[in-house]
Structure 1
Amino acid sequence: MIQVTTEQMAVFVATLSVAILSPGPGVIAVSQGAFALGRRRALTYGWGLAIGASVWCLFALLGLTALFRVAPWTLTALKLMGGAYLLWIGVKMWRHAADPLPDPAQGRARGLWAGMALNLSNPKPALFYSAVLLSIFPGALGLADKGAIYAVALSVELLFYTALASLMALPVLRQRYFASKFWIDRGAGFAIAALGLSLILRP
Protein backbone atom coordinates (compact mmCIF):
# COMPACT_ATOMS: atom_id res chain seq x y z
CA MET A 1 0.00 0.00 0.00
CA ILE A 2 1.32 3.45 -0.93
CA GLN A 3 1.93 5.69 2.09
CA VAL A 4 3.28 8.85 0.44
CA THR A 5 0.76 11.67 0.15
CA THR A 6 -0.43 13.62 -2.88
CA GLU A 7 1.07 16.76 -1.34
CA GLN A 8 4.49 15.11 -1.05
CA MET A 9 4.33 13.96 -4.65
CA ALA A 10 3.35 17.45 -5.80
CA VAL A 11 6.35 18.96 -4.01
CA PHE A 12 8.58 16.25 -5.50
CA VAL A 13 7.34 16.98 -9.05
CA ALA A 14 7.79 20.74 -8.58
CA THR A 15 11.32 20.35 -7.18
CA LEU A 16 12.35 17.92 -9.89
CA SER A 17 10.90 20.13 -12.63
CA VAL A 18 12.89 23.16 -11.47
CA ALA A 19 16.07 21.09 -11.27
CA ILE A 20 15.63 19.61 -14.75
CA LEU A 21 15.24 23.09 -16.26
CA SER A 22 18.79 24.04 -15.22
CA PRO A 23 21.13 23.61 -18.22
CA GLY A 24 23.15 20.40 -18.11
CA PRO A 25 24.80 18.05 -20.59
CA GLY A 26 21.50 16.31 -21.39
CA VAL A 27 19.68 19.56 -22.20
CA ILE A 28 22.55 20.75 -24.40
CA ALA A 29 22.92 17.43 -26.23
CA VAL A 30 19.24 16.84 -26.98
CA SER A 31 18.80 20.43 -28.16
CA GLN A 32 21.74 20.15 -30.56
CA GLY A 33 20.49 16.74 -31.70
CA ALA A 34 17.02 18.11 -32.41
CA PHE A 35 18.50 20.98 -34.42
CA ALA A 36 20.68 18.68 -36.50
CA LEU A 37 18.65 15.49 -36.86
CA GLY A 38 15.03 16.51 -36.41
CA ARG A 39 12.30 15.56 -33.97
CA ARG A 40 12.01 11.82 -34.60
CA ARG A 41 15.66 10.97 -34.04
CA ALA A 42 16.04 13.47 -31.20
CA LEU A 43 13.07 11.94 -29.36
CA THR A 44 14.74 8.53 -29.12
CA TYR A 45 17.89 10.15 -27.80
CA GLY A 46 15.86 12.28 -25.38
CA TRP A 47 14.04 9.24 -24.02
CA GLY A 48 17.40 7.62 -23.38
CA LEU A 49 18.46 10.73 -21.47
CA ALA A 50 15.24 10.58 -19.44
CA ILE A 51 15.72 6.91 -18.56
CA GLY A 52 19.37 7.51 -17.68
CA ALA A 53 18.46 10.38 -15.35
CA SER A 54 15.67 8.38 -13.72
CA VAL A 55 18.07 5.51 -13.01
CA TRP A 56 19.87 7.80 -10.56
CA CYS A 57 16.55 8.22 -8.75
CA LEU A 58 16.24 4.45 -8.59
CA PHE A 59 19.79 4.13 -7.26
CA ALA A 60 19.06 6.79 -4.63
CA LEU A 61 15.91 4.90 -3.58
CA LEU A 62 18.00 1.73 -3.27
CA GLY A 63 20.59 3.45 -1.08
CA LEU A 64 23.45 4.25 -3.46
CA THR A 65 24.38 7.39 -1.52
CA ALA A 66 24.85 5.23 1.58
CA LEU A 67 27.59 3.49 -0.39
CA PHE A 68 29.11 6.87 -1.25
CA ARG A 69 29.24 7.74 2.45
CA VAL A 70 30.76 4.41 3.47
CA ALA A 71 33.22 4.26 0.55
CA PRO A 72 33.83 7.84 -0.72
CA TRP A 73 36.26 6.56 -3.36
CA THR A 74 33.31 5.10 -5.29
CA LEU A 75 31.86 8.58 -5.82
CA THR A 76 35.29 9.91 -6.79
CA ALA A 77 35.73 7.10 -9.31
CA LEU A 78 32.28 7.71 -10.80
CA LYS A 79 32.96 11.44 -11.09
CA LEU A 80 36.30 10.85 -12.83
CA MET A 81 34.86 8.34 -15.29
CA GLY A 82 31.77 10.45 -15.92
CA GLY A 83 33.79 13.62 -16.38
CA ALA A 84 36.10 11.89 -18.84
CA TYR A 85 33.09 10.67 -20.84
CA LEU A 86 31.58 14.17 -20.98
CA LEU A 87 34.95 15.57 -22.07
CA TRP A 88 35.09 12.99 -24.85
CA ILE A 89 31.57 13.87 -26.03
CA GLY A 90 32.37 17.59 -25.92
CA VAL A 91 35.61 17.20 -27.88
CA LYS A 92 33.80 15.12 -30.51
CA MET A 93 31.12 17.79 -30.93
CA TRP A 94 33.79 20.50 -31.20
CA ARG A 95 35.85 18.57 -33.77
CA HIS A 96 32.83 17.72 -35.93
CA ALA A 97 31.36 21.23 -35.89
CA ALA A 98 32.55 21.87 -39.45
CA ASP A 99 31.18 18.58 -40.80
CA PRO A 100 28.21 18.75 -43.18
CA LEU A 101 24.80 18.04 -41.74
CA PRO A 102 24.05 14.31 -41.47
CA ASP A 103 21.24 12.71 -43.42
CA PRO A 104 18.32 12.61 -40.95
CA ALA A 105 17.70 8.99 -42.00
CA GLN A 106 21.32 7.95 -41.59
CA GLY A 107 22.70 10.47 -39.11
CA ARG A 108 25.29 9.69 -36.51
CA ALA A 109 23.89 7.28 -33.97
CA ARG A 110 22.19 9.09 -31.13
CA GLY A 111 19.85 6.45 -29.94
CA LEU A 112 18.37 5.34 -26.64
CA TRP A 113 21.59 3.82 -25.30
CA ALA A 114 23.67 6.88 -26.18
CA GLY A 115 21.23 9.09 -24.28
CA MET A 116 21.28 6.80 -21.25
CA ALA A 117 25.08 6.73 -21.26
CA LEU A 118 25.30 10.52 -21.30
CA ASN A 119 23.07 11.06 -18.27
CA LEU A 120 24.56 8.11 -16.40
CA SER A 121 28.01 9.67 -16.84
CA ASN A 122 27.16 12.33 -14.25
CA PRO A 123 26.61 10.98 -10.69
CA LYS A 124 25.44 14.34 -9.33
CA PRO A 125 21.74 13.50 -9.87
CA ALA A 126 22.14 10.61 -7.42
CA LEU A 127 23.13 13.08 -4.71
CA PHE A 128 20.35 15.46 -5.74
CA TYR A 129 17.71 12.73 -5.67
CA SER A 130 18.94 11.48 -2.29
CA ALA A 131 18.75 14.96 -0.74
CA VAL A 132 15.30 15.59 -2.22
CA LEU A 133 13.94 12.21 -1.20
CA LEU A 134 15.17 12.60 2.38
CA SER A 135 13.69 16.09 2.70
CA ILE A 136 10.32 15.38 1.06
CA PHE A 137 9.79 11.77 2.18
CA PRO A 138 11.45 11.65 5.63
CA GLY A 139 9.69 8.48 6.77
CA ALA A 140 10.55 4.89 5.91
CA LEU A 141 9.53 4.06 2.35
CA GLY A 142 8.00 0.74 1.43
CA LEU A 143 8.45 -1.03 -1.89
CA ALA A 144 5.18 0.39 -3.26
CA ASP A 145 6.22 3.91 -2.24
CA LYS A 146 9.59 3.56 -3.95
CA GLY A 147 7.92 2.21 -7.08
CA ALA A 148 5.48 5.13 -7.16
CA ILE A 149 8.25 7.71 -6.64
CA TYR A 150 10.37 6.17 -9.40
CA ALA A 151 7.38 6.08 -11.78
CA VAL A 152 6.73 9.79 -11.13
CA ALA A 153 10.42 10.67 -11.62
CA LEU A 154 10.57 8.73 -14.90
CA SER A 155 7.34 10.36 -16.12
CA VAL A 156 8.62 13.87 -15.37
CA GLU A 157 11.95 13.17 -17.07
CA LEU A 158 10.24 11.67 -20.16
CA LEU A 159 7.79 14.57 -20.41
CA PHE A 160 10.57 17.14 -20.17
CA TYR A 161 12.86 15.58 -22.77
CA THR A 162 9.96 14.89 -25.13
CA ALA A 163 8.87 18.53 -24.91
CA LEU A 164 12.43 19.81 -25.31
CA ALA A 165 13.19 17.65 -28.35
CA SER A 166 9.89 18.63 -29.97
CA LEU A 167 10.42 22.34 -29.29
CA MET A 168 14.01 22.46 -30.52
CA ALA A 169 13.05 20.60 -33.72
CA LEU A 170 10.59 23.32 -34.78
CA PRO A 171 11.36 24.50 -38.34
CA VAL A 172 12.11 28.10 -37.33
CA LEU A 173 14.71 27.00 -34.78
CA ARG A 174 16.25 24.42 -37.11
CA GLN A 175 16.60 27.04 -39.85
CA ARG A 176 18.52 29.27 -37.46
CA TYR A 177 20.69 26.31 -36.51
CA PHE A 178 21.44 25.55 -40.16
CA ALA A 179 22.65 29.13 -40.59
CA SER A 180 24.97 28.96 -37.57
CA LYS A 181 25.75 25.24 -37.27
CA PHE A 182 29.50 25.63 -36.78
CA TRP A 183 29.25 28.05 -33.86
CA ILE A 184 26.30 26.30 -32.20
CA ASP A 185 28.07 22.93 -32.34
CA ARG A 186 31.29 24.49 -31.09
CA GLY A 187 29.40 26.16 -28.23
CA ALA A 188 27.58 22.94 -27.32
CA GLY A 189 30.83 20.95 -27.41
CA PHE A 190 32.59 23.52 -25.24
CA ALA A 191 29.73 23.59 -22.70
CA ILE A 192 29.61 19.79 -22.34
CA ALA A 193 33.41 19.55 -22.09
CA ALA A 194 33.40 22.30 -19.44
CA LEU A 195 30.77 20.40 -17.44
CA GLY A 196 32.91 17.27 -17.66
CA LEU A 197 36.01 19.14 -16.53
CA SER A 198 34.15 20.70 -13.60
CA LEU A 199 32.93 17.25 -12.58
CA ILE A 200 36.54 16.02 -12.47
CA LEU A 201 38.06 19.06 -10.75
CA ARG A 202 35.32 20.03 -8.29
CA PRO A 203 35.75 18.38 -4.86
Structure 2
Amino acid sequence: MSAFSLEGLVIGWVALLAAAAAPGPNLLAVAASALGNGRRFALAVAAGVAAGTFFWALAAVLGLTLVFSAYPWSTDILRIAGGVYLIVVGARAIRAGLAGNAALMRNGAASASIGNSFLRGFVVVGTNPKAMLLWTSIAALVVVPGMPLAVAVLFAGVSMAISFAVYAIYALVFSLPRLRAGYRGFANQLEIAFGAVFCLFGARLLASR
Protein backbone atom coordinates (compact mmCIF):
# COMPACT_ATOMS: atom_id res chain seq x y z
CA MET A 1 0.00 0.00 0.00
CA SER A 2 1.41 3.41 -0.99
CA ALA A 3 2.44 5.65 1.90
CA PHE A 4 0.46 8.59 0.58
CA SER A 5 -3.08 9.43 -0.46
CA LEU A 6 -3.62 10.80 -3.95
CA GLU A 7 -7.02 12.04 -2.84
CA GLY A 8 -5.40 13.91 0.04
CA LEU A 9 -2.87 15.53 -2.28
CA VAL A 10 -5.59 16.67 -4.67
CA ILE A 11 -7.70 18.07 -1.83
CA GLY A 12 -4.65 19.97 -0.60
CA TRP A 13 -4.05 21.44 -4.04
CA VAL A 14 -7.70 22.47 -4.38
CA ALA A 15 -7.55 24.17 -0.97
CA LEU A 16 -4.43 26.03 -2.09
CA LEU A 17 -6.10 27.10 -5.33
CA ALA A 18 -9.04 28.57 -3.42
CA ALA A 19 -6.76 30.38 -0.98
CA ALA A 20 -4.51 31.76 -3.72
CA ALA A 21 -7.45 33.14 -5.70
CA ALA A 22 -8.79 35.05 -2.68
CA PRO A 23 -7.81 38.71 -2.09
CA GLY A 24 -4.90 39.24 0.27
CA PRO A 25 -1.35 40.62 0.57
CA ASN A 26 -0.03 38.30 -2.16
CA LEU A 27 -2.58 39.46 -4.72
CA LEU A 28 -2.12 43.07 -3.70
CA ALA A 29 1.66 42.86 -4.19
CA VAL A 30 1.25 41.36 -7.66
CA ALA A 31 -1.44 43.82 -8.74
CA ALA A 32 0.50 46.82 -7.45
CA SER A 33 3.65 45.75 -9.26
CA ALA A 34 1.75 45.05 -12.49
CA LEU A 35 0.10 48.48 -12.49
CA GLY A 36 3.15 50.43 -11.36
CA ASN A 37 6.07 48.58 -12.93
CA GLY A 38 4.67 46.33 -15.65
CA ARG A 39 4.31 42.70 -16.56
CA ARG A 40 7.89 41.45 -16.08
CA PHE A 41 8.13 42.81 -12.56
CA ALA A 42 4.69 41.50 -11.63
CA LEU A 43 5.61 38.03 -12.89
CA ALA A 44 8.76 38.23 -10.77
CA VAL A 45 6.61 39.01 -7.71
CA ALA A 46 4.40 36.05 -8.64
CA ALA A 47 7.49 33.85 -8.85
CA GLY A 48 8.56 35.04 -5.40
CA VAL A 49 5.14 34.22 -3.97
CA ALA A 50 5.37 30.78 -5.60
CA ALA A 51 8.79 30.21 -4.03
CA GLY A 52 7.35 31.16 -0.65
CA THR A 53 4.52 28.71 -1.28
CA PHE A 54 7.07 25.96 -1.94
CA PHE A 55 8.80 26.80 1.35
CA TRP A 56 5.61 26.61 3.41
CA ALA A 57 4.26 23.55 1.60
CA LEU A 58 7.46 21.58 2.13
CA ALA A 59 7.77 22.78 5.73
CA ALA A 60 4.20 21.69 6.42
CA VAL A 61 4.45 18.18 5.01
CA LEU A 62 7.82 17.65 6.71
CA GLY A 63 6.37 18.74 10.02
CA LEU A 64 8.44 21.90 10.44
CA THR A 65 5.32 23.96 11.10
CA LEU A 66 4.88 21.88 14.26
CA VAL A 67 8.15 23.36 15.48
CA PHE A 68 6.67 26.84 15.14
CA SER A 69 3.60 25.67 17.04
CA ALA A 70 5.74 24.17 19.81
CA TYR A 71 7.66 27.43 20.25
CA PRO A 72 5.10 30.26 20.12
CA TRP A 73 7.81 32.93 20.36
CA SER A 74 9.12 31.89 16.94
CA THR A 75 5.69 32.50 15.44
CA ASP A 76 5.56 35.89 17.17
CA ILE A 77 8.89 36.85 15.62
CA LEU A 78 7.59 35.85 12.20
CA ARG A 79 4.32 37.72 12.76
CA ILE A 80 6.05 40.91 13.90
CA ALA A 81 8.56 40.82 11.05
CA GLY A 82 5.82 40.30 8.49
CA GLY A 83 3.59 43.01 9.96
CA VAL A 84 6.37 45.57 10.13
CA TYR A 85 7.44 44.77 6.57
CA LEU A 86 3.92 45.31 5.21
CA ILE A 87 3.55 48.57 7.11
CA VAL A 88 6.91 49.86 5.85
CA VAL A 89 5.95 49.01 2.27
CA GLY A 90 2.58 50.69 2.73
CA ALA A 91 4.06 53.79 4.36
CA ARG A 92 6.50 54.22 1.49
CA ALA A 93 3.67 53.97 -1.02
CA ILE A 94 1.57 56.52 0.88
CA ARG A 95 4.51 58.90 1.15
CA ALA A 96 5.23 58.60 -2.57
CA GLY A 97 1.57 59.21 -3.40
CA LEU A 98 1.36 62.29 -1.19
CA ALA A 99 4.55 63.60 -2.77
CA GLY A 100 3.04 63.15 -6.23
CA ASN A 101 5.47 60.42 -7.26
CA ALA A 102 3.69 57.81 -9.37
CA ALA A 103 5.95 54.97 -8.29
CA LEU A 104 3.63 52.37 -6.81
CA MET A 105 5.38 49.73 -4.71
CA ARG A 106 8.89 50.81 -5.77
CA ASN A 107 11.52 53.44 -5.03
CA GLY A 108 11.47 54.69 -8.61
CA ALA A 109 11.61 53.09 -12.05
CA ALA A 110 15.39 53.27 -12.18
CA SER A 111 15.76 51.20 -9.00
CA ALA A 112 13.16 48.57 -9.86
CA SER A 113 14.65 45.16 -10.55
CA ILE A 114 13.50 41.63 -11.18
CA GLY A 115 15.45 40.43 -8.16
CA ASN A 116 13.86 42.94 -5.79
CA SER A 117 10.42 42.11 -7.17
CA PHE A 118 11.02 38.39 -6.60
CA LEU A 119 12.26 39.05 -3.07
CA ARG A 120 9.20 41.17 -2.31
CA GLY A 121 6.87 38.35 -3.31
CA PHE A 122 8.81 35.81 -1.27
CA VAL A 123 8.96 37.99 1.85
CA VAL A 124 5.24 38.83 1.72
CA VAL A 125 4.23 35.16 1.86
CA GLY A 126 7.27 33.84 3.73
CA THR A 127 6.76 36.08 6.77
CA ASN A 128 3.01 35.59 7.01
CA PRO A 129 2.09 33.29 9.94
CA LYS A 130 -1.37 32.91 8.43
CA ALA A 131 0.31 31.04 5.59
CA MET A 132 1.76 28.71 8.21
CA LEU A 133 -1.71 28.12 9.66
CA LEU A 134 -3.11 27.44 6.19
CA TRP A 135 -0.40 24.91 5.43
CA THR A 136 -0.71 23.26 8.82
CA SER A 137 -4.38 22.65 8.00
CA ILE A 138 -3.56 21.40 4.52
CA ALA A 139 -0.86 19.11 5.91
CA ALA A 140 -3.49 17.42 8.07
CA LEU A 141 -5.24 16.42 4.84
CA VAL A 142 -2.12 15.44 2.94
CA VAL A 143 0.37 13.84 5.30
CA VAL A 144 0.16 10.15 6.11
CA PRO A 145 2.62 8.08 8.17
CA GLY A 146 5.62 7.02 6.16
CA MET A 147 5.13 9.53 3.34
CA PRO A 148 8.26 9.37 1.14
CA LEU A 149 10.37 12.51 0.83
CA ALA A 150 9.91 12.38 -2.95
CA VAL A 151 6.13 12.66 -2.53
CA ALA A 152 6.56 15.58 -0.12
CA VAL A 153 8.76 17.39 -2.63
CA LEU A 154 6.31 16.57 -5.43
CA PHE A 155 3.44 18.01 -3.41
CA ALA A 156 5.40 21.19 -2.68
CA GLY A 157 6.48 21.48 -6.32
CA VAL A 158 2.94 21.19 -7.68
CA SER A 159 1.78 23.65 -5.01
CA MET A 160 4.41 26.10 -6.21
CA ALA A 161 3.24 25.66 -9.81
CA ILE A 162 -0.40 26.26 -8.83
CA SER A 163 0.55 29.37 -6.89
CA PHE A 164 2.58 30.78 -9.76
CA ALA A 165 -0.17 30.03 -12.28
CA VAL A 166 -2.79 31.89 -10.23
CA TYR A 167 -0.66 34.96 -9.56
CA ALA A 168 0.77 34.99 -13.08
CA ILE A 169 -2.79 35.30 -14.38
CA TYR A 170 -3.34 38.24 -12.04
CA ALA A 171 -0.05 39.74 -13.23
CA LEU A 172 -1.10 39.45 -16.87
CA VAL A 173 -4.54 40.91 -16.21
CA PHE A 174 -3.39 43.90 -14.16
CA SER A 175 -0.59 44.68 -16.63
CA LEU A 176 -2.98 45.04 -19.58
CA PRO A 177 -2.32 48.36 -21.37
CA ARG A 178 -5.83 49.66 -20.75
CA LEU A 179 -5.61 49.05 -17.01
CA ARG A 180 -2.13 50.54 -16.79
CA ALA A 181 -3.29 53.59 -18.74
CA GLY A 182 -6.14 54.01 -16.28
CA TYR A 183 -3.70 53.60 -13.41
CA ARG A 184 -1.48 56.36 -14.75
CA GLY A 185 -4.40 58.76 -14.64
CA PHE A 186 -4.91 58.12 -10.91
CA ALA A 187 -1.44 56.91 -9.98
CA ASN A 188 -0.96 58.96 -6.83
CA GLN A 189 -4.45 58.29 -5.48
CA LEU A 190 -4.12 54.57 -6.16
CA GLU A 191 -0.68 54.52 -4.61
CA ILE A 192 -2.07 55.99 -1.41
CA ALA A 193 -4.95 53.49 -1.48
CA PHE A 194 -2.64 50.51 -2.02
CA GLY A 195 -0.35 51.80 0.72
CA ALA A 196 -3.24 52.15 3.14
CA VAL A 197 -4.38 48.58 2.45
CA PHE A 198 -0.84 47.26 2.97
CA CYS A 199 -0.67 49.13 6.28
CA LEU A 200 -4.02 47.60 7.23
CA PHE A 201 -2.78 44.10 6.43
CA GLY A 202 0.36 44.78 8.46
CA ALA A 203 -1.58 46.15 11.43
CA ARG A 204 -3.93 43.18 11.41
CA LEU A 205 -0.95 40.85 11.34
CA LEU A 206 0.64 42.62 14.32
CA ALA A 207 -2.65 42.55 16.24
CA SER A 208 -3.32 38.87 15.57
CA ARG A 209 -2.24 36.20 18.05
TM-score normalised according to structure 2 size: 0.87
Change (3 A) 1:140 1:186: farther
Instruction: Identify which of 154, 158, 161 aligns with 1:148.
Output: 154
Change (3 A) 1:37 1:69: closer
Q: Are 2:23 and 1:19 equivalent residues in the alignment?
A: no
Of 58-67 and 82-91, deviating more is 58-67
Paired amino acid for 1:17 = L
Q: Is 2:5–2:142's contact at 8 Å kept on the other side of the alignment?
A: no
Instruction: Identify which of 103, 109, 112 aligns with 1:108.
Output: 112
Q: Distance in 1 between matches of 2:2 and 2:96?
A: 49
Q: Is 1:57–1:153's contact at 8 Å kept on the other side of the alignment?
A: yes
Alignment identity in percent?
A: 27
- What are the Cα deviations for residues 157-202 of structure 1, in whole angstroms up to 9, with x where unaligned? 1111211111110112111111111221111111111111111111
Deviation at 1:121, TM superposition (A): 2.2
Paired amino acid for 2:11 = V
Q: Is 1:49–1:115's contact at 8 Å kept on the other side of the alignment?
A: yes
Paired amino acid for 1:91 = A
TM-score normalised according to structure 1 size: 0.89
Deviation at 1:69, TM superposition (A): 2.6
List runs of 5+ in structure 2 lacking aligned partners.
none
Q: Distance in 2 between matches of 1:160 and 1:54?
A: 14
| Correspondence for 2:134 | 128
Paired amino acid for 1:100 = A
Q: Is 1:86–1:121's contact at 8 Å kept on the other side of the alignment?
A: no
Q: Distance in 1 between matches of 2:70 and 2:10?
A: 32
Q: Distance in 1 between matches of 2:157 and 2:3?
A: 15
Deviation at 1:2, TM superposition (A): 6.6
Change (3 A) 1:7 1:108: same
List runs of 5+ in structure 1 lacking aligned partners.
none
Deviation at 1:71, TM superposition (A): 1.2
- Secondary structure of the residue aligned to 1:4 is coil
Q: Distance in 1 between matches of 2:175 and 2:2?
A: 39
Q: Distance in 2 between matches of 1:62 and 1:190?
A: 36
Q: Is 2:94–2:192's contact at 8 Å kept on the other side of the alignment?
A: yes
User: How many residues of Structure 1 are paired with residues of Structure 2 in the alignment?
Assistant: 203
Q: Are 2:167 and 1:178 equivalent residues in the alignment?
A: no
Q: Distance in 2 between matches of 1:100 and 1:187?
A: 12
Q: Are 2:174 and 1:168 equivalent residues in the alignment?
A: yes
Q: Distance in 2 between matches of 1:168 and 1:193?
A: 21
CA-based RMSD of the aligned residues comes to 2.3
Q: Is 2:25–2:201's contact at 8 Å kept on the other side of the alignment?
A: yes
- What are the Cα deviations for residues 4-45 of structure 1, in whole angstroms up to 9, with x where unaligned? 344333222211111111211121011011011111222112
Change (3 A) 1:26 1:37: same
